[in-house]
Chain A
Amino acid sequence: MLVGIPLEQSNSVIKPKDCASEMSEYIVAVAEERCKRSFARVFSYFAPRLRSYALKQMGNEALAMELVQDTMSNVWQKAHLFNSEKGSPSTWIFTIARNIRFDMLRKLQNRKEDVCSDDLWPVLCEQTADANETSLDEQITLEQIGFMFESLPVKQKAVIEAIYIDGKSQQEVADELSIPLGTVKSRTRLALQRLKGMLNDHD
């Protein structure tokens, strides 16, 4: 038992809708303050439910508990990736558990080279946190921007090339060029604005 953190009964009668906003707040508190008390609430609500899901899926107590532990560890460590505008806590936690289960089953079959869940459902990628930055990218085809791209300042061009053509993350580009992440973000934004401006002129 954790001192100072009361574990609540898991089957307390909370309606799903109320529960979603309450649990959202706890997860945000975990993300922002690493609040153990809030995490204990999330844990006591979801861990028994995950356990029963896991038992059905894995059919084995030890594997089920491993699935619960991995899922809840991710909630604790990656709470900052939860976005209440995108979905409810139960959906988010379910997708984490589903992904872990998908990978566990393949590992059990000793298929190391197999497809991994992150490729199919990028639930816990840092990338998805600022996916809105890529929305412009979806509207512009590479063919369209080809010649406009050439007219970008060299530094912006390097960043855009690495991110949009080589598919690197902004963090990877920052590391490679030894510049702060913020600089990569601002160069990306400036370059996209410039490209967008040119496209508008072009129309």
Chain B
Amino acid sequence: MTKFHPAPEQLSEFAQGALASVESLMISAHCDMCARCQQVVAQQTVLQAEHALMDTQDDPATKTHDFQDDSKLDSMLESITQLPRATPSKTSRSGSRKIIELDGRVFTIPRTLRKYVPFMGNWSSLVGKLWQAPVDVGVSGVANFIYIGQGGSIPEHTHRGTEYTLVINGEFSDGLNHYRKGDFIKMNESDIHAPYSDDISGCLIFSILDQPLHFTAGIARLLNPFSHLFFRY
């Protein structure tokens, strides 16, 4: 059972489309795996819609009758009804993949992340039964699939900026908590942890470090002895 969810305000802001790209992406991927949060987002969306479109009776913006606006809307209506019916688009999901493989293991990837699987680099083996594959998600930040084999661990580290982690498969602990499939973890500079996995089939996580742009790789390398393993540019 998923135990770690985004905060209620995060889900509400996600439904409004008000969150930054990286955070939206991770919450969306969490919701793919979490029926509870999916439901919260659906309810929030209904509320937001009512708030945005239905509670406008007393709003001066809709009340004020501006003839110029009316004529703008009239001509807009006319131009829209000249448009042809949309042809089904074929472009949207081509190239997405549902599964990734490592060492004969097959993992099903949540819907939101499937689009990025083709942009995944090769797995590289690191210390301590760790595997890592970088993913180009096109946003500022560093994204990786990380696999922790049974008995594997990641050296203790802090974070530069905010790190979002989603458990795709298996379980791991970090000295603070125990995380399972679907769990959503947001860590920032004040958090220190040392993840390890005792799961017999290991643990696959997806992580994005939402690094402020002014942190260069070079500085990060000097500051964080651990980072050279994970952050390659």
Instruction: State the A residues within 8 Å of B (CB).
Output: 1-2, 5, 7, 10-11, 16, 34, 36, 39-40, 43-44, 46-53, 55-56, 65, 68-69, 72-73, 76-78, 87-88, 90-91, 93-95, 97-99, 101-102, 106, 111, 113-115, 117-121, 125-127, 141-143, 164-169, 171-172, 175
Contacts and interface: CB of A to CB of B under 8 A. Distances in A.
Given A43-B77, A119-B115, A167-B97, A77 B50 contact: no
Interface in B67-93: 69, 72-74, 76-81, 83-86, 88-90, 92-93
A164 B17 CA distance: 29
B80 A50 contact: no
Nearest to A3: B78
A90 B53 contact: yes
Contacts of A106: 21
Interface string B15-34: 01100011011001000000
Decide if the interface of chain A is mainly helix, strand, loop or mixed.
Answer: helix
The 5 closest A-B pairs by CB, nearest first: A94-B49, A113-B138, A52-B61, A77-B86, A115-B21
Nearest to A175: B90
Given A94-B48, A119-B28, A143-B106, A2 B78 contact: yes
A54 to B, nearest CB: 9
Nearest to A47: B73
Interface in B107-164: 108, 112, 114-115, 137-139
B94 A172 contact: yes
A52 B62 contact: yes
Contacts of B220: none
Given A34-B85, A88-B46, A94 B17 contact: no
Nearest to B71: A1
A153 B107 CA distance: 25
A106 to B, nearest CB: 7
A10 B137 CA distance: 43
B45 interface: yes
Contacts of B24: 115, 120
A51 B69 contact: yes
A106 B25 CA distance: 14
Contact of B108 (A7, A39, A142): A142
B90 A172 contact: yes
A40 B36 CA distance: 38
A165 B97 contact: yes
Contacts of A46: 53
Given A87-B46, A95-B45, A47 B77 contact: yes
A94 B99 CA distance: 33
A72 B80 contact: yes
Given A39-B80, A171-B88, 17 more contacts: A43-B77, A47-B76, A47-B77, A52-B59, A53-B56, A69-B80, A76-B83, A90-B54, A98-B48, A99-B17, A115-B22, A117-B17, A120-B112, A126-B88, A164-B98, A167-B97, A172-B94
Contacts of B84: 77
Contact of B85 (A55, A68, A77): A77
B85 A120 contact: no
Nearest to B137: A115
A16 B50 contact: yes
A131 B90 CA distance: 17
B53 A94 contact: yes
A50 B73 CA distance: 11
